[in-house]
């Protein structure tokens, strides 16, 4: 099991290039550090472990010393470094005369600095002119686990939940430390332990004890613990008759409950709440609105410094309007009514983590209320832990999308990091793809998404390419052919999955329930869960008219966006059928008809998976046999799945289009 992937990107394999290793050894020298806090001890242990693995043996005196610590430690203070811009979590890696320095204002910053320093070596960057100065652009960088107390995990396939509730608090699994190390290594500083669909059980004292054990374990790694709050908890576990947020008994119940939580977890982060969505209870069940619901919890959390992430993923069983529009309609009305410690947790797009979505129109639309950007690391709609899909390019697309809220350049990233509207509360959340599989994520490449999420949450200006490069080197080594091949596979993989499943702006045509394969024909008896509602295919054409002649969801965006996306000629092909319903013979920018383009795009997605298989085969012998074999097997299945997706969709759409398949497309059998 030596290469089973358990170590993730923290492998610290010996640097094979002897002269590079030698030069690293001579520029690093022995470590000088003072470690008194648990966090500082963890940082030092990690540094020793990393250097031991990468460089082997003890580091000898070479004239250089690696100086590690906070600005107030004597050996750092005397260097007179300017650490004023680093804040609580930032760090500085630099050179001071002959010495290398890892410095920060806090032990937490030092821990992040240590991981960053080791990353330099893992990716074989030169140390001569080392100078990295960075602090996170977003304060709260959280994983959201959709994990149930029974250890099932919603929408993840990487085994059971890593949280072994049954044995807690007595037995603390050693791997919790490795989970925390991995999170800290990419700057993740919070974790929501429970599913947004969970019941209220976790709020019972017997479970709060268990939560406390996890919080104690994660704290020295800088990871705060959060929970989901089931809105009906006062009824479910509190014995009250109502959960009406304005009812004094309910207010008292939550206040007591929250005070109680803080006796177990003094630095408890707060709650994520899914309310009045997909059958979950919420304030509207009592004739109250989302702000009244969120504020109830926020007021009780505020004295302790906690905050509420109130999810914007709301839509009703009774359809009032295009589901795309509902969150915007509800939350823009409430802007200005939320307590300052409430953030609206908003998915990247308005429907639901589709393979590709235009950015959510709520970003930029609530000047008074901050947004927590919710991304999905787990591949609910993109082949689960079977398909190779590197998600950073998709997240980058969202982060860089311009809302125009305060003129050009008001990107989603800048709305989220608080700079567009001057918000102090900033957060970003990723729905975890982690389970108790030995390699954590099932697909060996799935870890790239955990890694990329953390890196982007820390610094949204990093490119998906840079992140892929780092991760590949750290995970599979620095051999040029390995790096080039894997990077190319990663970077093209998202467009590939879009092409063989939901190209050209198609969405929500997956099979219901498991969401794994195709189901464009599917009708679930309510329009917003029905594929035909979203693709609208008929003899007349295909696509969802969301312009003013249709649902006008487009009208929820800024005028600049409306102008760009308002016509089929001006919108990018990748969003075309999201906003427009077009004739099968519509002439695309490529000069092809829509039908032909659709067919060829599906086909190119399939072809690209086949190519990935060949690329991967070419690495046989260049990476360990175990991980190679696993990815190779998964790519074979991905190819079969991709063909099936394409065939199912094209065969179905063909019943409407009645056009021949263009040359180059393998017609479905
Ligand atoms: O994507 C949908 C999923 C549900 C999920 C929901 C949500 C946690 O199919 O499984 O529930 O979104 O985000 O609340």
Q: Which helix (H) or strand (E) holds 271?
A: strand 270-273
Is the pLDDT confidence value at 60 over 90?
no
In the chain, pLDDT over 90 holds for what percent of residues? 96
Q: Provide the phi-psi class of 460: left if phi over 0, else alpha when psi is between -120 and 50, else beta.
A: alpha
Structural tokens at position 517: 């394969």
Region 365-386: what's the mean pLDDT?
A: 98
- pLDDT for residue 395: 98
Query: Residue 1 — very low, low, confident or very high, per pLDDT cuts 50/70/90?
Result: low
Which ligand 1 atom minimizes the distance to the CA of 197?
8
Q: Name the pLDDT band for 620 (thresholds 50, 70, 90).
A: very high
Quick check: 512 pLDDT over 70? yes
**pLDDT grade for 45, boundaries at 50, 70 and 90:** very high
pLDDT band at 78 (very low <50, low <70, confident <90, very high): very high
Largest interatomic CA distance in the chain: 78
248-264 helix and 290-301 helix, angle to the nearest 10 degrees: 40
Q: Is residue 259 a contact partner of residue 302, using CB atoms and an 8 Å limit?
A: no
Q: How far apart are CA 563 and CA 552, in angstroms?
A: 13
List the CATH code of the domain at 498-544+581-657: 3.90.1330.10
Q: Are 265 and 212 in contact (CB under 8 A)?
A: yes
Q: Tell me, using a 6 A CB cutoff, whether residue 154 lines ligand 1.
A: yes
Distances from the Cα of 468 to the Cαs of 213, 241, 445, 631, in angstroms? 34, 52, 11, 17
Strand-pairing partners, residue 346, are 373
What would be the CATH architecture of the domain defined by 140-469?
Answer: Alpha-Beta Barrel (3.20)
**Fold of the domain spanning 18-134:** Chitobiase; domain 2 (3.30.379)
User: What is residue 377's three-state secondary structure?
Assistant: coil
Give the number of the atom of ligand 1 that is nearest the alpha carbon of residue 277. 14
Contact by Cβ (8 Å): 54, 13: yes
CA of 345 to the centre of ligand 1 (A): 13
385-410 confidence digits (pLDDT tens):
999 999 999 999 999 999 999 999 99
Q: 341-351 burial, b for 16+ CB within 10 Å, e for fewer?
A: bbbbbbbbbbb
DSSP string, 175-222: HHHHHHHHHHHTT--EEE-S-TT--SGGGSHHHHHHHHHHHHHHGGGT
Tell whether ligand 1 has an atom less than 6 A from the beta carbon of residue 274: yes
Average pLDDT over residues 188-204: 98
Q: Residue 58's pLDDT band (boundaries 50, 70, 90)?
A: confident
Q: Which residues pair with 192 in a beta bridge?
A: 144, 226
Q: Residues with catalytic annotation?
A: 278, 352, 380
pLDDT at 669: 82
pLDDT at 526 over 90: no
Query: Which residue, by CA, sits nearest to atom 11 of ligand 1?
Result: 197
Q: Where are the domains of the chain?
A: 18-134, 140-469, 498-544+581-657
> Same CATH fold, 140-469 and 18-134?
no
Contact yes or no for 217/162 (Cβ under 8 A): no
Q: How far apart (Å, rounded) are the C-alpha atoms in residues 210 and 170?
A: 8
**pLDDT tens-digit series, residues 150-162:** 999 999 889 999 9
pLDDT of residue 2: 67
Among 147, 154, 433, say which to mutate for ligand 1: greatest number of ligand atoms within 8 Å of CB.
Answer: 154
Span from the CA of 281 to the centroid of ligand 1 (angstroms): 15
Q: Two tokens at 321?
A: 């309007």
Long-range pairs for 524-529: beta carbons < 8 A, 24 or more residues apart: 526/317, 526/319, 527/319, 528/315, 528/319, 528/323
For ligand 1, the distance from its centroid to the CA atom of residue 428, given in whole angstroms, is: 17
315 CB near ligand 1 (under 6 Å): no
Model confidence at 351: pLDDT above 90: yes
Instruction: Round the average pLDDT of the chain to a whole number and report it.
Output: 97
pLDDT tens readout for residues 436-474: 999 999 999 999 999 999 999 999 999 999 999 999 999
* Dist. CA 516–CA 512, nearest whole Å: 8
Write out the H or E segment, with its range, that includes residue 75: helix 74-77
**CA-196 nearest atom, ligand 1:** 8
């Amino acid at each position: 099991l030596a290469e089973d992937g358990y170590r993730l990107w923290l492998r610290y394999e010996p640097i094979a290039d002897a002269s590079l290793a030698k030069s690293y050894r001579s520029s690093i020298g022995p470590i000088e550090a003072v470690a008194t806090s648990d966090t500082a001890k963890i940082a030092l242990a990690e540094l020793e472990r990393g250097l031991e693995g990468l460089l082997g043996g003890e580091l000898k005196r070479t004239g250089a010393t690696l100086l590690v610590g906070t600005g107030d430690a004597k050996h750092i203070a005397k260097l007179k470094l300017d650490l004023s811009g680093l804040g609580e979590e930032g760090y500085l890696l630099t050179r001071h005369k002959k010495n290398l320095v890892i410095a920060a204002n806090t032990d937490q910053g030092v821990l992040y600095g240590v991981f960053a320093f080791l990353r330099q070596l893992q990716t074989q960057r030169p140390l001569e002119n080392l100078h990295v100065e960075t602090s996170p652009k977003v304060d709260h960088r959280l994983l959201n686990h959709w994990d149930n107390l029974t250890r099932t995990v919603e929408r993840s396939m990487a085994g059971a939940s890593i949280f072994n509730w049954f044995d807690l608090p007595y037995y603390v699994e050693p791997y919790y430390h490795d989970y925390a190390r991995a999170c800290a290594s990419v700057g993740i500083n919070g974790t929501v332990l429970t599913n947004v669909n969970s019941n209220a059980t976790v709020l019972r004292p017997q479970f709060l004890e268990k939560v406390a054990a996890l919080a104690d374990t994660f704290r020295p790694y800088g990871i705060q613990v959060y929970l989901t709050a089931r809105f009906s908890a006062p009824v479910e576990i509190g014995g009250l008759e109502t959960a009406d947020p304005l009812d004094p008994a309910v207010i008292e119940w939550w206040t007591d409950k929250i005070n109680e939580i803080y006796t177990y977890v003094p630095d408890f982060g707060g709650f994520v709440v899914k309310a009045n969505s997909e059958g979950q209870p919420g304030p509207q069940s009592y004739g109250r609105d989302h702000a009244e619901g969120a504020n109830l919890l926020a007021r009780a959390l505020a004295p302790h410094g906690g905050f509420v992430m109130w999810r914007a993923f709301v839509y009703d069983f009774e359809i009032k309007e295009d589901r795309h529009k509902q969150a915007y309609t509800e939350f823009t009305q409430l802007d200005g009514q939320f307590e300052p410690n409430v953030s609206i947790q908003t998915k990247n797009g308005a429907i639901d983590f589709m393979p590709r979505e235009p950015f959510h129109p709520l970003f930029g639309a609530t000047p008074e209320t901050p947004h927590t950007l919710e991304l999905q690391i787990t591949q609910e709609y993109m082949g689960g832990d079977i398909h190779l899909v590197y998600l950073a390019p998709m997240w980058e697309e969202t982060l860089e999308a311009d809302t125009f809220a305060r003129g050009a350049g008001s990107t989603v990233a800048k709305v989220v990091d608080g700079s567009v509207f001057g918000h102090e509360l900033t957060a970003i959340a990723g729905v975890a793809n982690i389970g108790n599989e030995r390699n954590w994520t099932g697909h060996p490449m799935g870890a790239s998404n955990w890694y990329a999420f953390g890196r982007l949450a820390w610094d949204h200006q990093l490119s998906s390419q840079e992140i892929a490069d780092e991760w590949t080197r750290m995970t599979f080594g620095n051999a040029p052919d390995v790096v080039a091949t894997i990077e190319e596979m990663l970077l093209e993989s998202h467009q590939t999955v879009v092409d063989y499943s939901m190209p050209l702006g198609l969405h929500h045509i997956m099979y219901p329930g498991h969401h794994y394969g195709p189901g464009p024909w599917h009708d679930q008896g309510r329009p917003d869960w029905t594929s035909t509602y979203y693709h609208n295919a008929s003899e007349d054409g295909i696509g969802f008219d969301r312009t003013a002649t249709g649902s006008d969801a487009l009208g929820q965006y800024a005028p600049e966006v409306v102008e760009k996306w308002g016509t089929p000629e001006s919108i990018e092909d990748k969003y075309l059928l999201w906003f427009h319903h077009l004739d099968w013979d519509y002439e695309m920018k490529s000069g092809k008809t829509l039908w032909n383009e659709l067919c060829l795009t599906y086909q190119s997605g399939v072809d690209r998976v086949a190519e990935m298989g060949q690329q991967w085969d070419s690495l046989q012998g260049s990476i360990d046999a175990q991980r190679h074999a696993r990815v190779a097997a998964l790519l074979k299945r991905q190819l079969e799945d991709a063909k099936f997706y394409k065939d199912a969709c094209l065969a179905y759409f063909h019943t409407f289009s009645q056009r021949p398949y263009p040359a180059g497309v393998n017609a479905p059998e």
